[in-house]
Structure 1
């Protein structure tokens, strides 16, 4: 079992025990977090929905990210990640929503936002939204995306443990 599969199995088992659900809002991972969760039998009990919001328009239309936030901070920002997580939570039946937005490369990076930069946020019903800045470096597109999925699954596992 791969590390990602093990994390997903842990999440599905834990959420099944606690009776909670999650939602995802993904940009740079393009649905990989939700896909990794749904690879596990029983995931239909714990994954409410996933939003793949690759374009700025999708972020606005599907999960309510403010055009002003995108204009002021860009798609790859703490502010956008927080609005993505909060929007996914508001538009789901989940207790937790995780969001990721970043620069997976190989191009598209800048000095301020280099390849390997990912902003992740986790929103919880009745709790504060937490933001994490991840800097993986230019380790390759696939590795950046897999590392992001790993961090998102770990964050969801920790959030459920903290809430239980």
Structure 2
């Protein structure tokens, strides 16, 4: 997320680029350059974070499937993603940037942006008084995910992102069949 970094890497702008169409499920338009650009940038950011925090496939899968992390490295992976995207900086959430990035994909007055605006405020309460950077980022991210379920990443996108991670660089003896799990 980040104007290149800021625009491209925010998890929510990408997740919210996938519009839910009622009973037909989630429609992903991979031909949309905005969607592809956000996805590519998000994957690059995630690859960097995998190496920095030694995240496991399970950690990354939890993040990309909007599940709460169950390990410390999973929490720190969330922190890395949000910090590198400038959504969290020195333990402070930059709601304005999060909302701005979502509006770039969805439009300033879209339902997504209006909902994110109110939910992101609510989620600030969930991190009040936290000082541990991994716990703070993970808790904030989990709150957003729990309250914006309709905008979750499609499973195929999550699985593709996990397959692109450089787990072999941090776990060189990991058997090939385990690298995607």
Q: Output the TM-score relative to the length of structure 2.
A: 0.28
Q: If each structure's helix is expressed as a fraction of its own residues, which one has the higher value? A: 2
Decide which structure has greater strand share.
1
From the CA coordinates, give the structure whose radius of gyration is larger: 2
Higher normalized contact order (CA 8 Å, seq sep 6+, divided by chain length): 2
